[in-house]
Structure 1
Amino acid sequence: MKSGGLNPIFKIIFFAILIIWGLSVLYPLLWTLLDALKNNDQFFRKMPWSLPDIPLLWSNFTYVWSEFSFDKYFMNSVVVTIGSTLLGLFLAATTAYVLARYQFKGSNFLYLIYIASMMIPFSLALIPLFFLLNSMHLTNSSFGLILVYASTLIAFGVFVLVGFFKSLPKEMEEAAAIDGASYFGIFFKVMLPLSQPGLITVGIVNVLNIWNEYIIGTILVNDPVHYTLPVGIAMMQAQMQYRTEWGPLFAGLLITMVPVLVVYMFFQRQIASGITAGAVK
């Protein structure tokens, strides 16, 4: 065996474990797709994990999209996810930059407050949060959800981005200041582009979390016009009452799952590199 190499037997075992792990992840997705192409008769006549009959019921997806207003739920999720992610990133980046580059009395304590807030279960704040937003007439609105979701993203963003900003050399700020750049110019034109790996990592993690969020959306929104996809799926099952239409229900789950899977597939390298860069720095 070459120095620094890996024994062929260990390679085989390693790849076998990866294949088994990959199949264990793909199987639930494949099972969901197969069940989305069935009707109730196939569910009760066959085993739940059996193959669907021919012709495949692709109409389950159009049925869910139109009859259960998944077109509206999808657009609501897109608007809320993008809006809250951009707002949360902006607030986290500006806060992290100040805490990392400017030392003032209480800056370290303020940073610890942000980190400590990540340990508090958000469910403890749901009731006072509801009354606060209700008094401000921000319940049953996408804008209210964007504000709440953005506020929940700040602590994690600050935690990741402070390390990036601290690692950047101060000479770059000084050079930009000599060239006549203002504080805002230094931040937006110099420091923010250099922290792009951290911004991408925080942004993607936040997108995945917000897209799948259910509890806050259920409590703050009870108007179907502003439902997001996770809330829409729960309402869809409730509307079915005593007869659950399993095929359309699985189709709705796939409509919810596919966007986040696509986002993760395209940006998985950026997530890994961003986290690694933050850890090294």
Structure 2
Amino acid sequence: MNRIRWLAVIAAAGLGIFGLSFVDGWISHDRELLGEGYRRVHIVLNAWRSAAIPVLTLGAVAALATGIGALIAVRRPGIPGWLLMGGSVVTLAVIGATLVPNGQDGHASSVQLTPAWLTGVGIGLAAVMVAGAVAVVRPHRQAAVALCVVGAIGVVGGIGGRWLGLQVSAGTGAHWSDGSYTRPATADQEPETLTITSGSFEIADRWAGTWESSGWTVVLTDDPACPDSRGTYHAHGEGGTGVDLRFVKVVDTCHDGARAADLEDGIWARDP
């Protein structure tokens, strides 16, 4: 094919990747919530959601920029060829990094990320972009070696960025800190104070034990009132600043659900 047709192919592939980036089909996200037994939550992500950011998002943006650059190059041949080559290689590298499984294990939950069906489609389109850029630019050997190095750095950086991003995102979402929270009286419960201190918790004189967390999930163990029971909850931030807590039970059989009823009844307001 001639130069114009190759540029059109690059543009179509780049814009195609960007368009597909909004479709849920790039990353398979599996989370296991631990407790007495476990609950598995499975979702499929696009390039603009949670664990796909920022690495896969960068690939989509690079594909868009390269595709637009190819369209401009059709009218303005003076566009530097290395921009098309660099953009295509970066797109392929960071999307290719998604092929490597990624995971994070915590006390209360574990997360596993694996490629979904659109990852293969994206890599194929990115490879077409690279082939088209090579056909248009025809880089000499030294430039080709430099681009291979850039690609390798992009893959390694993408893998590392995905791992770091998952560790940070899975470790955030905690709306609490050491201190005390008070829940006013409700129709079923007396007013009580929850105290969290260095990995332990105490609620009045009724409940106490170990407090472990992963993201917004907390696990309660070693409670003398029910030493063999393990409670798993989601702790949601409430109030205008998100510092108050609302608990949603995943599983807790302590005293036939009495501890769960206590925690879930009302909002626990952060004490000044």
Please state which band the TM-score falls in when normalised by the shorter chain.
under 0.3
Return the structure number with greater relative CO, CA threshold 8 A, min gap 6: 1
Give the structure-2-normalised TM-score.
0.23
Select the structure that is richer in helix: 1
Give the structure-1-normalised TM-score.
0.22
